[in-house]
């Protein structure tokens, strides 16, 4: 007689799988990749058999944890695109990538190095991640918030470097400061001397500039101090970011 699997059983299976993935991610980050599956089962509050039913090998579990991490980042990028201005969304996404990835360095290295694994789930997650990164970059470049001579591969390589930088620093705040300085290199460079730096009514009148925070176009006034932000909101965001750095 064939057993019928109800919707409640399927829901329980999904919950157990999510528990195992969360516990595995924490265990790998804290103890490295040699942590036994029994320890992961204990952390997840399930039996070892449950772990093996969902992930028949350590390799399958490693791949699933990394794919879940990428999917979480994709969701973060999509939320930022929907809620924030392009430049803010782009740099906020890169900070999410760095801050959530730095403890997963060994996992990323192993998954990337072992090309023998069957990895359709991981391949799909990597593709979605690259698509979101490219969309965020293109939108930020369109408004002038990111320099035009960089592509998605450049940004991905730079972000991986930032992850390594954060891993190498024991002082997290100092590491985050270096990360911020590195990511700021993606912003458009501004000349040391600008035509509107000294305003005598002859140069810079009617020119356009870009908000240093969101990249939106702003008009340059013929007199007074140079305008750096498009409004109070961006000015406050920049101030908070400087304090956090």
Q: What is the 3-state secondary structure (H, E, C) of 62-83?
A: HHHHHHHHHHHHHHHHHHHHHH
Is residue 217 within 8 Å of 210, Cβ to Cβ? yes
Is residue 41 within 8 Å of 51, Cβ to Cβ? yes
Rounded Cα–Cα distance for residues 126 and 233 (Å):
34
Residue 79 CB partners (closer than 8 Å, separation 6+):
none
Partners of residue 218 on adjacent β-strands? 209
What does pLDDT average to over the chain?
Answer: 79
Is residue 20 within 8 Å of 37, Cβ to Cβ? no
Whole-number pLDDT of residue 106: 54
Mean pLDDT in residue range 131-155: 95
Rounded Cα–Cα distance for residues 214 and 183 (Å):
15
pLDDT in tens, 191-213: 444 343 333 333 344 444 677 77
Whole-number pLDDT of residue 87: 96
Helices then strands, each counted (H, E), the chain: 10, 2
Least-confidence region, from 16-20, 99-103, 111-115, 234-238: 111-115
Is residue 218 within 8 Å of 150, Cβ to Cβ? no
Record the pTM. Answer: 0.67
pLDDT-above-70 percentage for the chain? 75
pLDDT in tens, 54-92: 988 888 888 888 888 889 999 999 999 999 999 999 999
DSSP state of 188: P
């Amino acid at each position: 007689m064939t057993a019928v699997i109800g919707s409640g059983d399927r829901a329980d299976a999904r919950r157990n799988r999510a528990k195992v993935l969360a516990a595995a991610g924490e265990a790998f980050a804290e103890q490295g990749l040699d942590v036994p599956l029994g320890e992961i089962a204990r952390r997840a509050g399930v039996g070892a058999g449950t772990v093996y039913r969902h992930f028949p090998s350590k390799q399958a579990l490693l791949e699933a944890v990394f794919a879940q991490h990428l999917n979480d980042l994709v969701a973060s990028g999509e939320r930022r695109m929907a809620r924030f201005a392009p430049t803010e969304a782009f740099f906020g996404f890169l900070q999410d990538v760095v801050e959530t990835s730095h403890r997963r360095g060994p996992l990323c290295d192993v998954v990337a190095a072992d090309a023998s694994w069957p990895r359709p789930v991981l391949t799909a997650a990597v593709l979605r991640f690259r698509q979101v990164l490219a969309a965020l970059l293109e939108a930020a470049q369109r408004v002038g918030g990111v320099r035009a001579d960089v592509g998605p591969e450049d940004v991905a390589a730079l972000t991986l470097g930032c992850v390594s930088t954060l891993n190498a620093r024991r002082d997290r705040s100092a590491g985050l400061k270096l990360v911020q300085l590195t990511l700021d290199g993606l912003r458009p460079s501004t000349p040391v001397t600008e035509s509107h730096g000294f305003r005598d009514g002859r140069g810079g009148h009617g020119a356009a500039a870009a908000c240093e925070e969101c990249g939106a176009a702003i008009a340059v006034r013929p007199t007074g101090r140079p305008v750096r932000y498009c409004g109070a909101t961006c000015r406050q965001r920049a101030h908070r970011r400087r304090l956090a750095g």
